[in-house]
C-alpha cells in the first residue's frame, strides 16, 4: 500500500483547497481563453490565485476608502 496508510487502513487527512483552486483556474481559463493555465501540472503560474486575491482585496479597500476625508 501507500506510504502514508495508517494501521487502520486510512490515509492521513489532506487539504485539497489549493488543488481545487488550481482546478478552478484551469477550468475557467479553458472556458474563457481556450487554453488552461496548467496550474495542476506545472508550478510555474501557481502564484496567480494568490495575486488575484490580493489585488481584489486591495482594490476593494481603495474603492471603499473615503477620499473626501482627506481634504485640507
Residue 68 reports pLDDT greater than 80? no
Name the β-bridge partners of 5.
Answer: 11
Whole-model pTM: value is: 0.65
Give per-residue pLDDT as tens, 1-42.
Answer: 456 777 787 887 878 999 999 999 999 999 999 999 999 999
Asked whether the beta carbons of 40 and 20 are under 8 A apart, the reply is: no
For residue 43 the three cell numbers come to 508550478
Confidence of residue 67 (pLDDT cuts 50, 70, 90): low
Amino acid at each position: 500500500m501507500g506510504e502514508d496508510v495508517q494501521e487502520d487502513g486510512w490515509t492521513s487527512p489532506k487539504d485539497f483547497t489549493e488543488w481545487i483552486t488550481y482546478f478552478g483556474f484551469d477550468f475557467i481559463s479553458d472556458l474563457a481563453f481556450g487554453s488552461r493555465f496548467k496550474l495542476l501540472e506545472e508550478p510555474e503560474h501557481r502564484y496567480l490565485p494568490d495575486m488575484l486575491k490580493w489585488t481584489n482585496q486591495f482594490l476593494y479597500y481603495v474603492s471603499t476608502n473615503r477620499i473626501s476625508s482627506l481634504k485640507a
